Structure 1
């Protein structure tokens, strides 16, 4: 069996930046919970994306949770949420005992459809927040979505978990809404092994999020808790990995783009193949290279063919309104997200992938068109 090719796996820097920060943490005995690496990772990250403040947290999910709490989402409040996403986008709505209403995507962006969002506001005028996702590192239509949210005076939360290094009209995503959320899970474009970041220009809200993330411990000699708190802060070791990874973000984006362009060049002429949409105003990070099939070859054909050769691929996210847990909640749209799920495939996009690996992958896929 040939060596395994992964969809996306952790990729530490060749320069060893991460170990320098980890070593410093060990030598100074700042292992946990906080320390210099956490503070500097927040500062460096905020500067990198152009945000005033950032909170380093244990997961991207916890960042979404605190964002919802920070905009006062509570019991029975309605939150509009993009349906085509991973469940981590929607789960925190339930944590807050709120009610999700799922919004369809459009083919132009694969992300939240502004027309469906406007329709949802007509149906539900009393909305507490909107969560938009930048799926696979490609941008939603932020101009229209932000304008709609502003018109209804509803805060926008950007789930940019998959979109670190992605720009919309020259500005980093995650900085258009009231809050932006990023993930450093093992498969993301940079990783801390696990972790997330909450960003905002509202420095007071970020300070409050940090307070909640540290069990809402008051500044008293004894342990005093006047509010419900959470154990959501990032450790100093994990933050050290993040500081090192941030140094190679631009390299990772360049490699992801190379992978996407390789696939598009080699597979783009096959009958029944379209690639995920890249618009003029979108500078994506190409986190995963995804295709949409509309001919005789089906997503499962590709997934199984690659699997048989020890190559990992994956379907597009199954929309939330189709998930057994969430199907009881309302959905607004025309089932485009469902069609993207049913016809989409995520191709191997590991930044350690070689040209030999890429040629092997496209050879397997092209073989399906020769049968």
Structure 2
């Protein structure tokens, strides 16, 4: 085995390697983290990947067609990172001219630091999806609570005018984006690239006053155009509802720790019935407040039973949407008796 820091070369796959970097296009299957690079791969991608693996100090086996290629890759990597090749790296005479040529282009390979840090972070997320028991089990659905809660925590830090807190919470928001992007990539649904491209196209289309029109517009006109554009693609959105649910539950949890808590779930059932009766009796002026109290009590029940109300509502939301879709697909004759048609749709779900 030839080894330099956390990189090593061996003809056989080693059990002590946590990652594999395959440089010759050979496909290997492993539960560990595998980077495949063939002859068409951009050499810079290899360099930045090795740079990340060195940064996080993961034992990495480089799989190549021969050991000379292993030394060549590491020589170029160390030139790129530190402009100096360690004495332990053996360069054959026939490779030395190529290495010298590489030294000349290194200044042109400099990468924007923002992009470099972002790419390292994304590679870390990809690593965790393979090597961390918790991260590897997450799905789009299981991450819904965090996806809703993290932006709210960021808003809280903004309101506190706490820049360091905002910085940290924005990192947590970015974590959710990268996790969902990687999950989408694994299931061939979407990728980080397609997400970025979709956002680019949307922002381009929604800013004709910047990219297409010559006439200057006021901020009010720009906002009006934006809203009109959004209305063309209007769809049901429950994100604000989910956000308010999580905020409410957090408040109820805080209240619990100062002694404001029900003794059992039966007390909450009674409170819900009490609030429902108040809704029935409420005047038009008081109706909004009473419905708010009813919702607050239902959320308290979910919290007490350790059920995420935002996720529970989202499940019901999806179920209702599917039933509406099935109802719309019925013939006009079948739609006439709404109650009968609706019960039939529900029965077919069981």
Bigger relative contact order, structure 1 or 2 (CA pairs below 8 A, ≥6 apart): 1
More helix by share: 2
The answer to whether the superposition gives a TM-score over 0.5 is: no
Scaled to the shorter chain, the TM-score interval is under 0.3
The TM-score with structure 1 as length reference comes to: 0.21
The TM-score with structure 2 as length reference comes to: 0.22
**Structure of higher CA gyration radius:** 2
More strand by share: 1
